[in-house]
Structure formats: structure tokens, C-alpha cells
Amino acid sequence: MGGNSTLEEFGKKFPSFQFVVLYHQFASGSDRASHWDLLLEQPDRESSQLLCFEVPAHPHNWEKTTSAKQLPDHRAIYLSYEGPISGNRGTVTQLLKGDVQWVTQSEKLLVLNLQFHWENKKQSPLILAILSLTRVTTENELDWELKLQICD
């Protein structure tokens, strides 16, 4: 495919890493806004910890560059958990779950191949996508830009 190694990787079997997107909803009147959490298993972390990003935009809008904020690592239970979060921190509902293949991983850039079905509907077509996260230079070292490229 024209030397694009990222797309060529789709022909290979994905390793067993997973990702999930949770809708994190807060009660009205909360000091935090509802958002989507992107949680990623990664090869160089403990299997019990997931890399986490808070994204204000719905995943259908991730094809446009959007902001993301890195949060502390989350427990792996969130790969399958839905429901209330302790300490009156809202509820989470799973929107997407799929496989992730790590292509590039550095302090300033993450490039991932994703395989998933929109809204976890197995009857919908399998989506192959490239997700890139680029660290933004700001005072807050946790700020990133996220972009999802759906592959045909």
C-alpha cells in the first residue's frame, strides 16, 4: 500500500492488546463535565494499568483533530466495567471496545492501529483506523491532540 507501514500492519494479526472508550457521565451540577475516556492496554506497562485520555468530543468527531488530556493510569477492570464509580464520580458506559496495535510510542507521539465495531455492534462493519495522539506544547504536560483516520 504505497509504503505506508501503518496501513501495511493491518495485514498482520493484532497482538492481544485492547482498548475501550467509555462515556463518563457526571450528575448535573457536578464541577466536572461529562466526557469520553480512551483507555489503552500497552506493551510496556503493567497489565493491570491502562493509559487513559479524557476527550471532550464524541468518538464520531475524532476524525477532526480534537483535544485530549492525559489522566492517571486506570485499572484494567475498566476494559469491561460499566456502572457507577465510587466516591460519587459519575457513571461509565462502554461505547467502543476493540483491538489496538502499537505502531509508534514516544513521549510526544503515539500512533495506533485500531480494529472495532461502532458502538460495539457486531453486525456493523469492522472498522480499521489509525489513531494518532500528539503532545501539545503547553504549560500542562498532559495536553494532547487526538485524530482518528478511518481506513477504507
Q: Quick check: 32 and 18 in contact, CB under 8 A?
A: no
Measure the CA–CA gap between 128 and 68, rounded to whole angstroms: 21
Mean pLDDT of the region 7-14: 52
Give me the amino acid identity at 114: L
- At residue 3, the pLDDT reads 46
Q: How many domains are contained in the chain?
A: 1
Measure the CA–CA gap between 152 and 148, rounded to whole angstroms: 13
Q: What's the mean per-residue pLDDT of the chain?
A: 87
* Prediction pTM value: 0.86
Domain limits for position 50: 5-150
Condensed to tens digits (0 to 9), the pLDDT of residues 77-123 reads 999 999 999 888 899 999 999 999 999 999 999 999 999 998 878 88
| CA quadruple 117, 64, 113, 55: dihedral sign | negative
Condensed to tens digits (0 to 9), the pLDDT of residues 130-142 reads 999 999 987 777 8
**Higher pLDDT among residues 13 and 137, named by residue:** 137
Measure the CA–CA gap between 40 and 45, rounded to whole angstroms: 10
3-class secondary structure per residue, 67-121: EEEEEEEEEHHHHCCCEECCCCCCEEEEEEEEEEEEEEECCCEEEEEEEEEHHHC
Radius of gyration of the chain (CA): 15
Query: Coil, helix or strand for 10?
Result: helix
Mean pLDDT of the region 13-35: 86
- At residue 86, the pLDDT reads 86
